[in-house]
Structure formats: structure tokens, C-alpha cells
Amino acid sequence: MLLLSGLGPAGSHVIFHPHFDVLHSEFRVIYVDLFGRGCSDKPDCLEEITFENDVLDVVCLLEKLAPQGAHLFGFSYGGLISLQLAINHSHLVKSVLLCNSLHSPEMWQKNHENINKVIETQLPDVWAEILHLRCDGYVSTSSEMQALFAKGASIVRFYNPQNADQLMTEPGARNTELYPIFCGEDVDFSIGGQLLHIPDFRPLLDKIAIPMIVLAGRFDRALYPKLQQDFERKNIHLQFLERSGSFSFIEENDKVLNIIRAHCKS
């Protein structure tokens, strides 16, 4: 089983610890830090990191470590990579399980619009500070802006905001220099960079012949259930987690692991 992480395209695998540890006795679990992220090597130029190259790197990884195919668990950005693999490199994929992922640049844009709406309505004092900085010419990926957006993360991404404390991190887990290059320097208002070159997978979903499940947290306020319904196809099962936000593998860990077990054995 290969775990592909998210937190945008700049995060490492550390968010999966320790939530998948129990599966080690049942699967060979592969954690990966994509090129330029986490513990992986860094390129001379961050512009070398593209969605297409991320996909090719994972193809090479699978050919080396799992030439007979692997089950893919794609969270957030990792789900986009999983979709591309399922469509173009299906011989390396046994099954796909997406977890609060996306299907298109349009959905990524809506993700940020929804985050902003929650901050505006639930944290109006924080939103006022964001608008003040914006009027002063700050882009959303500036350290000043990111500190403000972070104040809304727990209520946007979690069913129970206190569960945000279970999200593990470590020094260097997120490549903050890559984020504005890959996503656009004002991504929280208008996506840019490599995000504009990611395919819209919706017209391609019917072509996926591999077993596939999409997990969606009922209380994900950014990639909310209505957006996740766009994944529904005869060949794709959509399942909502009723006590989860974005991080269902944290908030409903036992349930998610049981879904993984049943899915991979089917």
C-alpha cells in the first residue's frame, strides 16, 4: 500500500503517522516524500517540481518497489496523483482510495473560496486582518497572511477542532518555498502556478476500471460533500464519514482502516 500525502503539494508523509501504523502487520506500507518535500532531495530550482514530474516519480517508485501493483491511498493532492496513475499507469495500481481529495483546478479554487467564507463568517476579526493586509499589498502566501489563515484551519478541516492536535508535523515537513511557486503566490484568492496545469479528471473518471472508493468527511468545510459528489460514477463508490472533516483517517481512524482492509481484499 502506497500512501500519498497532501497539505497542498508541499507537504510530507509525516501527517500519516501514527494513524496507519497498525496496518504494517497486514500490508507492506510505503510512505513517500515527493521530490523537494520532507526528507527527499531538493532540486536546484523549485520550478522543476511539476504535477507531471510528481506522477512520473511515483511511477518509477512503483516500478521499483511494487512492480506487480500497489493499493493507493491518496489524500488531498495525493489523490490527484492517484487518479493520474489509475488512468495512465493502471498496470501499477491494484486499487485506489481517495480521501478528501480533488478532481480539478476548479475544485481547488472552490476549496479556497470555501475556506475564506468560513473565516469571514466564523472569525470575522481574523478576516478583517486578512483584508487589511491585502489592501496593503500582501499576497496570501506571505508569512503574515499564512499566520492568519492558519487560525481558521482547525474549524475548516476538522469535525472536532480539538482533533487538530493529532496532526503530526516536524521541522521541514512542509516546503514553504515551494508552495507559492507550485500554487501561485496569491493562491488563497486565485490559484496559479502548476495548479493550472493539473487535468480536470471529471470527464476521465468513467475510464477508471480499477476498484475505487472516495472517502469524504461530512464536516469538511472546504472540500464539502456537494463537491465530492462530482466523483460519483457507476465504477466509483462515494462514502461519507459522518464525524469527520478533511482528516477522516485521524477523526475516524478505526472506521477508515476497516474500509481500507475491506477495499483491498475485494
137 and 76 inside one domain: no
Amino acid at 105: P
Here the CATH number for the domain that contains residue 211 is 3.40.50.1820
User: What's the whole-model pTM score?
Assistant: 0.96
Nearest of 104, 133, 74, 70 to residue 205 by alpha carbon = 104
Residues 195-212 pLDDT 10s? 999 999 999 999 999 999
Kindly state whether residue 169 falls inside one of the protein's structural domains. no
Residues 222-255 pLDDT 10s? 999 999 999 999 999 999 999 999 999 999 999 9
The total of structural domains in the chain comes to 2
> What is the extent of the structural domain holding 32?
2-105+197-265
How far is residue 205 from each of residues 88, 160, 165, 197, 238, measured CA to CA in Å? 12, 32, 35, 18, 13
| CA pair distance 65, 160, nearest whole angstrom | 37
18 and 99 inside one domain: yes
